[in-house]
Amino acid sequence: MEPHRAATSRGRALPNVLSIAGSDPSGGAGIQADVKSISANGGYALAVVTALTAQNTMGVTGVHTPPVEFLRRQLDAVSDDILLDAVKIGMLGSEEVADCVAGWLDDVRPAVVVLDPVMVATSGARLLDDDAVRAVLRLAARASLVTPNIPELGVLIGAAPAGSWQEALRQGRELAGRVGTAVLVKGGHLPGPRCPDALILPGGGAGHPGEALVFDGRRVGTDNTHGTGCSLSSAIATRYAVTGDWSAAVREAKGWLEAALGASASLRVGRGAGPVHHFHALPDPRHRQPFTDLAWRDTAGLRHEILQLPFVVGLTDGSLPAADFAGYLREDALYLREYAGVLARTAALAPTETEQLFWLQCATSCLETEAELHRSWLGTEPGPRGTDLPGPVTRAYCDHLVATTARGSYAELVASVLPCFWLYAAVGDYVRDQVRQDGGAAEAAHPYGAWIATYADPVFAEATAEAKLIADRAHRAASPDERDAMLLAFRWSATYERDFFDAHRGPSADAAPSEHADLREGVVLP
Ligand X SMILES: Nc1ncnc2c1ncn2[C@@H]1O[C@H](COP(=O)(O)OP(=O)(O)O)[C@@H](O)[C@H]1O
First to last CA, the chain: 50
366 is catalytic: no
Using rule CB under 6 A, residue 195 touches ligand X? yes
**Contact between 359 and 344 (Cβ < 8 Å):** yes
346 is catalytic: no
| Minimum separation from the CB atom of position 242 to ligand X (A) | 19
| Minimum separation from the CB atom of position 194 to ligand X (A) | 9
What CA–CA distance (Å, rounded) separates 148 from 142? 15
Q: Which of 65, 147, 181, 225 is catalytic?
A: 225
Binder of ligand MP5 out of 36, 88, 173, 226 (CB under 6 A): 226
**Contact between 519 and 492 (Cβ < 8 Å):** yes
Which of 57/228 has CB closer to ligand X? 228
Using rule CB under 6 A, residue 34 touches ligand X? no
Give per-residue burial for 417-456: e unless 16+ CB within 10 Å, then b: bbbbbbbbbbbbebbbebbeeeeeeeeeebebeebbeebe
Give per-residue burial for 308-329: e unless 16+ CB within 10 Å, then b: ebbbbbbbbbeebeeebbebbb
Amino acid identity of residue 132, one-letter, is: A
Q: Which does 261 bind (CB under 5 to 8 A by kind): ligand MP5, ligand X, none?
A: ligand X
| Minimum separation from the CB atom of position 234 to ligand X (A) | 12
What CA–CA distance (Å, rounded) separates 200 from 247? 10
Q: Which does 356 bind (CB under 5 to 8 A by kind): ligand MP5, ligand X, none?
A: none
What CA–CA distance (Å, rounded) separates 255 from 247? 12
| Minimum separation from the CB atom of position 261 to ligand X (A) | 5
Binder of ligand X out of 229, 310, 382, 419 (CB under 6 A): 229
228 is catalytic: yes
Which of the stretches 163-171, 221-229, 292-300, 374-382 binds ligand MP5 when contact is defined by CB under 6 A? 221-229
For residue 516, the 8-state DSSP code is P
Q: Which of 50, 53, 147, 228 is catalytic?
A: 228
Which of 127/398 has CB closer to ligand MP5? 127
Using rule CB under 6 A, residue 72 touches ligand X? no
H/E element holding 53?
strand 44-55
Binder of ligand MP5 out of 15, 19, 20, 24 (CB under 6 A): 24
Binder of ligand X out of 156, 261, 309, 488 (CB under 6 A): 261
Which of 236/373 has CB closer to ligand MP5? 236
Residues 6+ apart with CB under 8 A from 95: 129, 131, 132, 134, 135
Using rule CB under 6 A, residue 154 touches ligand MP5? no
Which of 122/144 has CB closer to ligand MP5? 122
Binder of ligand X out of 258, 372, 472, 482 (CB under 6 A): 258
Residues 6+ apart with CB under 8 A from 429: 455
88 is catalytic: no
| Minimum separation from the CB atom of position 189 to ligand X (A) | 5
Which of the stretches 40-48, 225-233, 290-298, 362-370 binds ligand MP5 when contact is defined by CB under 6 A? 225-233
**Contact between 110 and 240 (Cβ < 8 Å):** no
Using rule CB under 6 A, residue 230 touches ligand MP5? yes
230 is catalytic: yes
Q: Which of 22, 90, 188, 229 is catalytic?
A: 229
Using rule CB under 6 A, residue 29 touches ligand MP5? yes
What CA–CA distance (Å, rounded) separates 490 from 420? 10
CB atoms closer than 10 angstroms to residue 408: 10
What CA–CA distance (Å, rounded) separates 364 from 221? 50
Q: Which of 154, 187, 217, 230 is catalytic?
A: 230
Using rule CB under 6 A, residue 188 touches ligand X? yes
Task: Mark 100-139 with x for binding to ligand MP5 (rule: CB under 6 A) and - for no binding.
Answer: ------------------x--xx----x------------
Write the CA distances from 88 to 1, 235, 308, integer angstroms: 21, 9, 62
Nearest to 30 by CA among 279, 275, 282: 275
Which of 191/384 has CB closer to ligand MP5? 191
**What residues numbered 83-102 form the site for ligand MP5, per CB under 6 A?**
90-91
DSSP letters of 223-234?
S--BTHHHHHHH
Which of 52/442 has CB closer to ligand MP5? 52
| Minimum separation from the CB atom of position 141 to ligand X (A) | 20
Residues 6+ apart with CB under 8 A from 524: 298
Q: Which of 227, 274, 428, 506 is catalytic?
A: 227
DSSP letters of 150-206?
HHHHHHHHTSPPPSSHHHHHHHHHHHHHHHTSEEEEE-TTS-SSB--EEEE-SS-BT
**Contact between 521 and 488 (Cβ < 8 Å):** no
Using rule CB under 6 A, residue 217 touches ligand X? yes
314 is catalytic: no
**Contact between 367 and 431 (Cβ < 8 Å):** no
- In the complex, the residues that contact ligand X under the rule CB under 6 A are 149, 186-189, 195, 197, 217, 219-220, 222, 225, 228-229, 232, 254, 257-258, 261
Catalytic residues: 186, 225, 227-230
- In the complex, the residues that contact ligand MP5 under the rule CB under 6 A are 21-24, 29-30, 53, 90-91, 118, 121-122, 127, 226-230
